[in-house]
Amino acid sequence: MILRQFCVRHGRTVLSQPSRTCLRSASSNNHVDNSMFQQSNQDLKRRDFIQGHPDDPSSILDTTQKPPTAATRRLDGAVESSANSLKGLQSEASGLSHAERIMKLDDLTTLHQRERPSTEVEGEDQPTTRLDPKNLKPTRWPRDPGFVDHWPEHGKNLHELDRYFAGYMARKHRGTDNVNRYDPAKNITNPPTPDELTLPMLLANQTHLGHATSLWNPANSSYITGVRDGIHIISLDITYAYLKRAAKVVEQVAKRGGIILFVGTRDGMRDIIVRAAKEAKGYHIFDRWVPGTLTNGQQILGQCAVQVVDRHDKKIDEYDDMLSQGRHQVARPDLVVCMNPLENEVLLHECGLFTIPTIGVIDTDANPAWVTYPIPANDDSLRSIALISGLLAHAAKEGQRQRIEAAESGKTTYQPELVQRALERAQTLVDLDVQESSSNEQSKEGATA
């Protein structure tokens, strides 16, 4: 249905859309009587209907195309050139995807041939060898986006570049990258040093969690800062101070060449204790403490050999015969680091009998008087144990470094007189054993005669 109305403002007849909905068939060109109002066949953009408001530019007179001028031609050219440049930029951006940036197989073959020393004979045509991507052994690639510039040329291959760009695009689409995140194995493989210790680090490793309030030991009241859901919360400020003090003790003992023993007998502590002992160049016990190891050590550890080293930690071979198995006095540790004092009460008691200083992780249910240097912390969490043992191992390593530096400058950080006395006592015991054995042989010979 077509309505014709006269516009008073413009003084012309326009087409308008009726108030009720018209069907497409009723408003098509076939039902328009006057050819003046029919749509031209040259118009590429067909119109189903024409807006009916008189002020709209869709009226018949307003939609009539004007003849082009020089200004309109320049504008049309500028718009067309802008559109072409935009399409070129879009195609270039799509061409820089990570799949197209991977080196081609031919380029990789040429690169390997250039890096490999030439063994070809001049004048002979050698067949071109093509590398199979399936046979390329992938190497380990770093996560630094700029590693491609510093990567050796012979290490670039299709697999590694594909893996790198896939990871790079994944991180790019993710938007953020959490750098400061918790890694459970980091405290074992790369524990922090005493200088790197912070309160957030203690909090992240669960050192503040104690036991239930019904299991607490009143001697730990000064270490507890509050209660949360029926569990005592240990003050991290006190844990930080006591842990720094224990690290200083370990450092000074290692600086003087002392023997440090790490003890942790709970499930899951084996790898932590062994790695800490290796880092500190000490000794470890992760299975169980044999009662009488210190009080009856000559019978239990008498068959173990002893080595004598100089101030540069180099072995002295001349004492091997004198300190062979069963011919020396058992050496006791100078410091014992116990990670679970509740299960090693016998160990702490024997250390007290021989005045051996001890360091222990004291939870809210343990007695801090059992050890010489308590560390108020959670002893049930492997995170807490790994952090504390790794930090103490770093402290021992620092003490040994100071001792080696002093030895290189001709100084000693310990008293050589004490070592000399120990060697003299060992020599006396060896002489007594020789005299006793010779007298026994003479008595046997007289009895047989």
| Euclidean distance between the first and the last CA atom of the chain, given in angstroms as a whole number | 149
Strand ranges (E), 209-288: 209-212, 224-228, 231-234, 260-263, 283-285
Structure tokens at 284: 């470890």
> What is the C-alpha separation between 381 and 374, in angstroms, rounded?
17
Residues paired with residue 309 on neighbouring β-strands, in sequence order: 315
> What is the C-alpha separation between 72 and 421, in angstroms, rounded?
109
Whole-number pLDDT of residue 285: 94
What does 28-45 look like in DSSP terms, one character per residue? SGGG--SGGGSPPTT-SS
Cβ pair 260, 250 in contact under 8 A? yes
Quick check: helix, strand or coil at residue 147?
A: helix
SS3 content of the chain, % helix, strand, coil (to 5): 45, 10, 45
Query: What averages of pLDDT result for each successive group of 10 residues across the chain (449 residues)?
Result: 49 48 47 57 52 50 62 84 82 58 50 50 48 48 48 59 73 63 74 90 91 91 92 94 96 92 93 92 91 86 75 76 66 92 94 94 93 94 93 94 88 78 76 62 56
Quick check: helix, strand or coil at residue 335?
A: strand
Whole-number pLDDT of residue 270: 92
What does 199-257 look like in DSSP terms, one character per residue? HHHHHHTTTTEEEEGGG--GGGGGGEEEEETTEEEE-HHHHHHHHHHHHHHHHHHHHTT
Give the pTM: 0.57
Measured in whole angstroms, how far is the alpha carbon of residue 177 from the centre of its chain? 13
Whole-number pLDDT of residue 203: 92
Provide CATH 3.40.50.10490 ranges for the chain: 189-294+332-412
One-letter identity of residue 428: T
Residues paired with residue 209 on neighbouring β-strands, in sequence order: 233
* Strand-pair category, 260-263 with 283-285: parallel
One-letter identity of residue 293: T
> What is the C-alpha separation between 241 and 199, in angstroms, rounded?
10
| Alpha carbon separation from 292 to 226, 302, 357 (Å, rounded) | 40, 13, 17
| Alpha carbon separation from 97 to 85, 94, 103, 143 (Å, rounded) | 19, 6, 12, 19
For 134, which DSSP code? G
Quick check: helix, strand or coil at residue 280?
A: helix
> What is the C-alpha separation between 289 and 348, in angstroms, rounded?
10
> What is the C-alpha separation between 343 and 339, in angstroms, rounded?
10
> What is the C-alpha separation between 357 and 59, in angstroms, rounded?
102
Structure tokens at 305: 């050999």
Whole-number pLDDT of residue 227: 93
Sequence-distant (6+) residues with CB within 8 A of 5 are 13, 14, 16
Describe the crossing of helices 236-255 and 382-408 by its angle, rounded to 10 degrees. 30
* Strand-pair category, 231-234 with 209-212: antiparallel
Structure tokens at 207: 């050192």
Sign of CA dihedral 98, 104, 109, 111: negative
Residue 1 has a CB neighbour count (10 Å cut-off) of 10
Residue 162 has a CB neighbour count (10 Å cut-off) of 17
Q: 189-294+332-412 domain in CATH 3.40.50.10490?
A: yes
| Alpha carbon separation from 306 to 316, 326, 331 (Å, rounded) | 11, 10, 8
Sign of CA dihedral 98, 100, 106, 107: negative
